[in-house]
Structure 1
Amino acid sequence: MQLRHLLLCSVFIFFVLYAPQPLLGLFARHFSVSPAAAGSLMTATMLPLAIAPLVYGLFLAKRNPLVILKIAMVILAISCVIFTFAPSFNVLLLIRFIQGITLPAALTAMTSYIGVTYQADLLQRNMTLYIGSTIVGGYFGRMLAALFTDFLSWQSFYYVIAIGLVCLAFAIPKPQKTTAIHTPQSPLLYLKQLKSPLVLKLYGAVFCMFFCFAALLNYLPFILQDSFAITNTREIGLVYTGYLVGALASIATPWLLRKSSSPWRLLTGVFLFYSLTILLLMSQQLLLFVIAFTGFCGAMFVIHSSAAPLVNKISTAPASVTNGGYVSFYYSGGALGSLLPGLIYQQHGQVAFMAVLLLVCLIGLALVYLAGRNTTRG
């Protein structure tokens, strides 16, 4: 399978995950639910994303990931069409949960395919390109959902996603028998290989990173509405441009890694910057908020682009299990971040909300600092 085809599949898969986010305010008004309840549309998807990937990692260790990817994409396409006909908020939640069960199969299949197909510098390069595709999918999924809603209807974008997924799925070539796939002797044997202190610290830091990111991106429409009186979906979508501008920082990750004495040193510095942007996001001035949001996104993407290939280098488990664990911790943070801070926001407002994110971010900073110090001592 050509890498550019895989990257395009990734873009459309991330459309599915993030398209509802800028529409949460619309869903809250249409179905008469609270901001935290509306945010649960993301939680319903990220919760199974947090649990399933490790199981899928073991499952994929003895099956060709391209077959799993094709099946998952077809299921996601069908779910997108059904989503547009949902008569109630509870049905929306159910469909999002089904998508959450399906998405980790696709994500783990893609990262596993890269992990077993490429080595050394090519692994770093192509994993960075994959992460770049998730960034593009996340941004345009949000932006296009907002624009389609403003000019046509929110349902129309879901039809576009469904068509794209089906076309890309059936264009996936038949897997070759020579594809290298690991066959586990025992699931427990491989899970034990993820108990490395360095791997667990990195997983924990990734959890903290995405907890903060999912929380802010999930409740951004409500912050813009309450603090800056921005309610139009098109204008909310434009604010997400800071996401794309910040995402360009991920392109510089290989250069930053070369300039740093170690990946852990880079992660420590970027987590420190991540914390600073959260402090600035407490501002009530729109321009400063947007600038801080752009820096916040940039920091997250550099952390993600550094951590994903790093865990593949330091883990002794198979690529499918290593990446399954990574995706599991990543979306565990997203699942909790998309719900719990929203309860704080509803009760205590923007500053308290950001304070919670800052605390979690500082925990992530401590984890990468300790990991880096232990590596230096070793």
Structure 2
Amino acid sequence: MPIFHLLSCSIVVFFVLYAPQPLLAMFAEHYQVSPAKAGLLMTVAMLPLAIAPVFYGLVLTRRCKLTMLRYTMLALAICCLVISVTRQFEIFLFMRFIEGLLLPAALTSMTSYIGHTWQGQNLREKMTWYVGSTIVGGYAGRALAANFANLWGFESFYLFNAGLLVVLALMIRPSHNKRDDSKPIISPKDYLKPIKTTQLLRLYSAVFCMFFCFSALLNYLPFILSNEFDIKDPSTIAWVYSGYLVGAIISMLTPFLSKVSRNNWLILSVLFAIYSGSLLIMQWRNIDTFIVMFTLFCACMFMIHASAAPLANEISTANAGVTNGAYVSFYYCGGALGTFVPGFIYQLYGMHVFLLSLLLVCITGGYLTLLNYRSGKVTQLGS
């Protein structure tokens, strides 16, 4: 499968996941529900993403990755069509849950295909491109959904997304020629054992912390902009998400960080420090400063993700499907909790305590990478 086609599939799949986010405040008002309940539209989609990838990773050790990707995208298209015609919040919420069950199949298929097809520096390069495509998909999904909602209603975006999913899915041509020569995994114990090393679990846990903070801030960004800075227009809120796109561009430079330092754990520790610093400066109630720090925050998150994803494949001795399934599980477990739990903190105590709570989680992630740095473990691209 050409890498450009794979990246295009990634972008459109991420449309599905993130499209509701800039519209949460609008949904809360439209359906007369609280911000935390509106946030469930993201939570119910991310919660299965925290669990299902482990199962899909096991399935992908025995099944064609591209076949699973194709049928998953067609199923996601059906969900988009249902959302476009429903008028009840409960049905919308249920469809988001179904999407959450389907999305990890697509994400694990794509990351496993990359991990199985490329090695070494090529792996880091292709994984960075993939991470960049997820960022573009996340930003474009948010921006397009907000603007479609303003012009023609949010239903029009879901029809558009369904059409893209069908076209790209039908273009996939699964190949059964390249076989996975990894040792067959015959039990859950065999499946989990290779990923239970201290070094790898610390990395996964740091990724959990990273995406917990990121999901929390992006999920409640519409409410912060509306309540703290009096920005209520969905199109303007979508523009603020441009910091997300800037991060995509910066993250493409991540492979070059290995030329600055060949110690991957040091790179991750420094990135976490900057990530934490941006959250601290956001406390200053100034919209220009907030947007600049939000952009820096996004850039750091993407660079951490682009560094951690290939690093997990390099230090793991497990099958690519196993390694990436666990990575996606930890990643979206943090995302699922981040879209919901901090909402209560924001509702009860406001923006400053909300940001401080995220800062504590972020510092925890940085500490875990620092522990790996101090341990002096050897990786493929540095000590």
Normalising by structure 2, report the TM-score. 0.97
Give the secondary-structure state (helix, strand or coil) at the position aligned to 2:252: helix
1:257 and 2:258 correspond: yes
Measured in 2, the distance between the counterparts of 1:110 and 1:26 equals 33
Give the secondary-structure state (helix, strand or coil) at the position aligned to 1:87: coil
2:88 equivalent in structure 1: 88
1:46 and 2:46 correspond: yes
1:339 equivalent in structure 2: 340
Q: CA deviation at 1:304?
A: 0.1
Measured in 2, the distance between the counterparts of 1:155 and 1:257 equals 44
Any idea what the Cα deviations from partners look like across 1:282-310, whole Å, max 9, x if unmatched?
Answer: 22110000000000000000100000000
1:278 equivalent in structure 2: 279
2:110 equivalent in structure 1: 110
Measured in 2, the distance between the counterparts of 1:181 and 1:213 equals 37
Confirm or deny: 8 A CA contact 2:64 2:176 kept in the other structure.
no
Measured in 2, the distance between the counterparts of 1:41 and 1:128 equals 28
Which amino acid counterpart does residue 305 of structure 1 have in structure 2?
Answer: A
1:245 equivalent in structure 2: 246
1:363 equivalent in structure 2: 364
| Percent identity over paired residues | 52
Measured in 2, the distance between the counterparts of 1:174 and 1:350 equals 48
1:301 and 2:302 correspond: yes
2:178 equivalent in structure 1: 178
2:153 equivalent in structure 1: 153
Which amino acid counterpart does residue 310 of structure 1 have in structure 2?
Answer: L
2:169 equivalent in structure 1: 169
1:372 equivalent in structure 2: 373
Give the secondary-structure state (helix, strand or coil) at the position aligned to 1:63: coil
Give the secondary-structure state (helix, strand or coil) at the position aligned to 2:248: helix
Give the secondary-structure state (helix, strand or coil) at the position aligned to 1:84: helix
Identify which range, 41-50 or 187-196, moves more after superposition: 187-196
1:71 equivalent in structure 2: 71
Which amino acid counterpart does residue 302 of structure 2 have in structure 1?
Answer: F
Measured in 1, the distance between the counterparts of 2:349 and 2:181 equals 50
1:212 equivalent in structure 2: 213
Identify which range, 183-192 or 194-203, moves more after superposition: 183-192
1:122 and 2:102 correspond: no
Confirm or deny: 8 A CA contact 1:64 1:181 kept in the other structure.
no
Give the secondary-structure state (helix, strand or coil) at the position aligned to 2:33: coil
- Which residues of 2 match residues 217-236 of structure 1 at below 5 A? 217-236=218-237
2:16 equivalent in structure 1: 16
Confirm or deny: 8 A CA contact 1:61 1:181 kept in the other structure.
no
Any idea what the Cα deviations from partners look like across 1:180-201, whole Å, max 9, x if unmatched?
Answer: 3643233311211110101000
1:290 equivalent in structure 2: 291
1:138 equivalent in structure 2: 138
Any idea what the Cα deviations from partners look like across 1:81-111, whole Å, max 9, x if unmatched?
Answer: 1012223211111110000000000000000
Normalising by structure 1, report the TM-score. 0.98
User: How many correspondences in the alignment?
Assistant: 378
Unaligned stretches of 5+ residues in structure 1: none
Measured in 2, the distance between the counterparts of 1:283 and 1:325 equals 37
Measured in 2, the distance between the counterparts of 1:179 and 1:319 equals 13
Identify which range, 297-306 or 88-97, moves more after superposition: 88-97
Which amino acid counterpart does residue 313 of structure 2 have in structure 1?
Answer: N
Which amino acid counterpart does residue 343 of structure 2 have in structure 1?
Answer: G
Any idea what the Cα deviations from partners look like across 1:99-142, whole Å, max 9, x if unmatched?
Answer: 00000000000001111111111111101101110010001000
Give the secondary-structure state (helix, strand or coil) at the position aligned to 1:227: helix
1:6 equivalent in structure 2: 6
Confirm or deny: 8 A CA contact 2:46 2:333 kept in the other structure.
yes
Measured in 1, the distance between the counterparts of 2:336 and 2:28 equals 19
Confirm or deny: 8 A CA contact 1:62 1:184 kept in the other structure.
no
Measured in 1, the distance between the counterparts of 2:188 and 2:63 equals 14
Measured in 1, the distance between the counterparts of 2:99 and 2:179 equals 28
Measured in 2, the distance between the counterparts of 1:246 and 1:64 equals 32
Give the secondary-structure state (helix, strand or coil) at the position aligned to 2:74: helix
Change in CA separation of 1:37 and 1:181 when aligned onto 2, cut-off 3 Å: farther
Any idea what the Cα deviations from partners look like across 1:204-261, whole Å, max 9, x if unmatched?
Answer: 0000000000000000000000011111111001000111112222111111122113
Confirm or deny: 8 A CA contact 1:204 1:364 kept in the other structure.
yes
Q: CA deviation at 1:376?
A: 5.1
Measured in 2, the distance between the counterparts of 1:277 and 1:215 equals 14
Change in CA separation of 1:160 and 1:181 when aligned onto 2, cut-off 3 Å: farther
Any idea what the Cα deviations from partners look like across 1:56-78, whole Å, max 9, x if unmatched?
Answer: 10011110100100010000000
Change in CA separation of 1:229 and 1:171 when aligned onto 2, cut-off 3 Å: same
Q: CA deviation at 1:177?
A: 2.8
1:33 equivalent in structure 2: 33
Confirm or deny: 8 A CA contact 2:61 2:180 kept in the other structure.
no
Confirm or deny: 8 A CA contact 1:63 1:181 kept in the other structure.
no
